[in-house]
Structure 1
């Protein structure tokens, strides 16, 4: 049995543009327009999931996807840093930010560490290996990073070296938990027959 999961990063919003930890902002006009223009370009799926955030739900809707919330793919909890920019937090708590950016076991105050996020996503991937067919999942960029780190068995510190542009697809396919990876296909790009 082969499982395929296509992870789609959300369209642009104010939080992404400002490097702000998610604050529940909706998509901006250009982000919504880009997502709408990519509607109909995705392969059909047996199930469609979404990170339960405003920007992911709105991206799924703009893409014409009827998605259901998937708690296992939720955005990382940023604790008291939620809604603040990285510069704001770095100015107020430079030591805490430095520890968080260098040690995957360190969490934002009241939040979730990169290690815990990667372990959560690894558990979700293990369970999804038992689901035949294709899954589409509109997820936060941090989820895509955790997927890549997990599949490549990379050090969790590599999480910070991965860039996930808006409205790109990262696909994993495999059986029995042995995953293959296809990175960063821009949405709206024609797909060949082998890609469908």
Structure 2
């Protein structure tokens, strides 16, 4: 059995956007324009999925993946009671708890998921896939988790894996062995004409 999984990250928000835990705001105008420019560039797939978030669903729609269905296993890492809070605020109020979460894969001081939890959840989904091609629009956390699981990396590497906005990370597997094709940018079309102020 061979599975080819293409994990697609949504476009980034504008740089001025404040980082918040569990942020699921809409794509900005520039991000939506870039996403639409890449529509039609993805291959056909037997399964087309999206994380159950507004941002991922909007990205899938803008990519022309009308058949995408929500997959609960692809949901973002649950930040528990930190949801909606700015990263800077949590860092100022709970520096030790935030440091523990970022350095200990088993820590969940916010009462949500630990890194180990999201790796286990994503790994179970990945290993349960059947033969064929799968396209999935999902978050950077899930893509990192898939890589940690598929390549049998130490969980401590989770935060050191950078996932580029609007990129494809490809995994292919046979008999439980996974191979990686590192983040491939989606093609940029003529609609991607944002000025530096919009990016």
Task: Give the deviation of 1:189 after TM superposition.
Answer: 6.5
Partner residue, 2:26: 26
* TM-score, normalised by the number of residues in structure 1: 0.91
Give 5+ residue unaligned stretches, structure 2: 190-199
Change in CA separation of 1:15 and 1:99 when aligned onto 2, cut-off 3 Å: farther
Partner residue, 2:74: 73
Partner residue, 1:193: none
Task: Give the deviation of 1:179 after TM superposition.
Answer: 0.8
d(CA) in 1 for partners of 2:22 and 2:79? Answer: 8
Task: Give the deviation of 1:69 after TM superposition.
Answer: 0.4
1:9-38: per-residue Cα shift (whole Å, max 9, x none)?
Answer: 011236994332233211100110000000
**Matched-pair contact (CA < 8 Å) for 1:15–1:22:** no
> Size of the alignment, in residue pairs?
188
Bigger share in helix: 1
d(CA) in 1 for partners of 2:27 and 2:179? Answer: 31
Q: Aligned with 2:184: secondary structure?
A: strand
Task: Give the deviation of 1:132 after TM superposition.
Answer: 1.5
**Matched-pair contact (CA < 8 Å) for 1:80–1:111:** yes
d(CA) in 2 for partners of 1:106 and 1:15? Answer: 29
- Map 1:152-171 → 2, pairs under 5 A: 152-171=151-170
1:119-142: per-residue Cα shift (whole Å, max 9, x none)?
Answer: 1111111101xx111100000000
**Matched-pair contact (CA < 8 Å) for 1:118–1:150:** yes
1:29-85: per-residue Cα shift (whole Å, max 9, x none)?
Answer: 011000000000011111100011111011001001021000111111111111122
**Matched-pair contact (CA < 8 Å) for 1:15–1:21:** no
Q: Aligned with 1:183: secondary structure?
A: strand
Q: Aligned with 1:173: secondary structure?
A: strand
**Matched-pair contact (CA < 8 Å) for 1:4–1:133:** yes
**Matched-pair contact (CA < 8 Å) for 1:80–1:108:** no
Give structure 1 regions of 4+ aligned residues with deviation exceeding 6 angstroms: none
d(CA) in 1 for partners of 2:15 and 2:90? Answer: 14
Partner residue, 2:56: 56
Partner residue, 1:173: 172
Give 5+ residue unaligned stretches, structure 1: 191-196
